[in-house]
Structure 1
Amino acid sequence: MIDTAGVTDRFAHIGRLGVAFSGGVDSSVLLALAARALGVDRVIAILGVSASLAAEERAAAHRVARHIGVAVVEVVTHEQDRAAYRANGADRCFHCKDELFTRIADEVVIAHRLDAVAYGENADDARRPDRPGARAAAAHRVLRPLADAGLDKAAVRSIARALELPCADKPAAPCLASRIPHFTDVTPEKLRQIERAEEELRRLGFPELRVRHHGEIARIELPSKDLPRAVTDPLRGAIRDAVMAAGFRFAAVDLAGVQSGAFTLPLVQGPHA
């Protein structure tokens, strides 16, 4: 296994730690390493719950935390009450993470006697220009042990496999709001549409996907290997039915495949970067 001392050494002077937790591979590895270093009774997993968190992701996060043996504290966030979040500019993630870390500071830190809060930014994330949530973490003095130890995504997945975490090969699952084009409002109705469409498509055998919300059109991103069967009967018709049942009128399969940062990167890098 990759040497994790660079991460665990950062817990040396911490009595009790809270980990901002999503159930994804990064925060799960951080949680597992913290639990090993400090003991499961000195670490809590803090899960932000709002309309932008799919019910499936919420349940999966609880399963991973149970596997690690750490208690989960749910925090209801209200980013939808923030006009800047609803406006959905390129900095939307800043307002979401600022809401989360504010709630953690106000509702969790004192109640659970935490000495510090950490989150699962890795070294690859730290180099990307489309991660405004990192500014919120810095403003709230949230620790980022994985990034500071220089662990990139490949290293994190390697550690997850060595620790036999159930999410070791879990595809990235950004929040539902990331499926809505910038400068169009984030609404609970749109988030529900996206969640329902993605749930149905997973049932059809597509575990990794994005449903991008373009008004009446659902633009479906799938890994390249899944594109041929997605446009071949009988799945082609089933995909269309699933999307229409979620409230869209049209279904479009994007030939470019799954695109991380599809909406934000062009705004922060420029369209030809």
Structure 2
Amino acid sequence: MVAQKLEQLKVLFAEMDRALIAYSGGIDSTLVAKVAYDVLGDRALAVTANSPSLMPEDLEDARIQAATIGIAHEVVQTHELDNPNYASNPVNRCYFCKSELHDTLRPLALERGYPYVVDGVNADDLGDYRPGIQAAKERGARSPLAEIGITKLEVRQISQFLGLPWWDKPAQPCLSSRFPYGEEITLEKLHRVGRAERYLRDLGLRNLRVRSAGETARIEIPAEDIKDFVADHDLNALVNAFQGYGFTYVTLDLEGFRSGKLNQDLPLVKA
């Protein structure tokens, strides 16, 4: 089944002939970039949007992965934080983020002669609350993984089949996703969350989030890792570091890490 879907993905790109990939460096868009390059060669271009909500090390990962694949790679600046509709952090914040992204990529694609802009949306994403998908569709973007029905698990399976060393890379959504809806997002807040997550990454943690609510940092790590985390690390040093970044309180979420946790209240918001 995985091999069949990979072949379908190749056929899809062959039919496109030329494509610009909205490339974040995450495992989904990296697989799209890999297959596009394998099929199209220099008729494929990967473009990463750099903004304050992208951690510098994630941008560096995107550069390294693109170089490993061989695909041409460019970086453009986006300015979603300048839009009050985004910075106010409404429940459809991602709509304004993806609007900014594709309003930047579409003219670039047309200027360079790429008839298609494609992204890394997978089939599982269609079942989640993703207002950004609508913004991309309105601007003519295509989602090859979703079109073929490739799930997140299959993205990892295909990536491993292709020998991509980052096939098990944890999901790393933008830093703006760390804030509860309705709390304003500022450059200062993004920086302190980014520094806090970098601190935890340097401790060797992979699956993690630092949720930011007011002056409180709430650390999420897998539930099975909590006991060892508390036993093995200097918590006083961690608290001092986080307070140095600007947080007043530092807490540990005993439920453990769960992707998309801040979306759990959305049914109440929508009602």
Q: Which amino acid aligns with 1:50?
A: S
Find the counterpart in structure 2 of residue 232 from structure 1.
Answer: 231
Q: How many angstroms apart in 2 are the aligned matches of 1:265 and 1:6?
A: 34
Structure 2: unaligned runs, 5 residues or longer = none
Contact persistence 1:230–1:239 (CA under 8 A): no
Identity %: 39
Aligned length: 267
For 1:36-185, list aligned pairs within 5 A. Answer: 36-39=38-41, 41-106=42-107, 108-128=108-128, 130-185=129-184
Comparing 225-234 and 208-217, the one that deviates more: 225-234
Shift >6 Å, 4+ stretches: none
Name the SS for the 2:218 alignment partner.
strand
1:26 aligns with 2:28: yes
Q: How many angstroms apart in 1 are the aligned matches of 2:91 and 2:175?
A: 15
Q: How many angstroms apart in 2 are the aligned matches of 1:193 and 1:63?
A: 25
Comparing 16-25 and 256-265, the one that deviates more: 256-265
TM superposition shift of 1:2: 2.7
Q: How many angstroms apart in 2 are the aligned matches of 1:22 and 1:177?
A: 15
Find the counterpart in structure 1 of residue 15 from structure 2.
Answer: 13
Q: How many angstroms apart in 2 are the aligned matches of 1:12 and 1:161?
A: 22
TM superposition shift of 1:231: 1.9
Find the counterpart in structure 2 of residue 242 from structure 1.
Answer: 241
TM superposition shift of 1:167: 1.9
TM-score, scaled relative to structure 1: 0.94
Contact persistence 1:67–1:165 (CA under 8 A): no
Q: How many angstroms apart in 2 are the aligned matches of 1:44 and 1:10?
A: 16
RMSD: 1.4
Q: How many angstroms apart in 1 are the aligned matches of 2:77 and 2:104?
A: 8
Find the counterpart in structure 2 of residue 208 from structure 1.
Answer: 207
Name the SS for the 2:15 alignment partner.
coil
TM superposition shift of 1:233: 5.2
Find the counterpart in structure 2 of residue 262 from structure 1.
Answer: 261
Contact persistence 1:210–1:220 (CA under 8 A): yes
Q: How many angstroms apart in 2 are the aligned matches of 1:27 and 1:154?
A: 14
TM-score, scaled relative to structure 2: 0.94
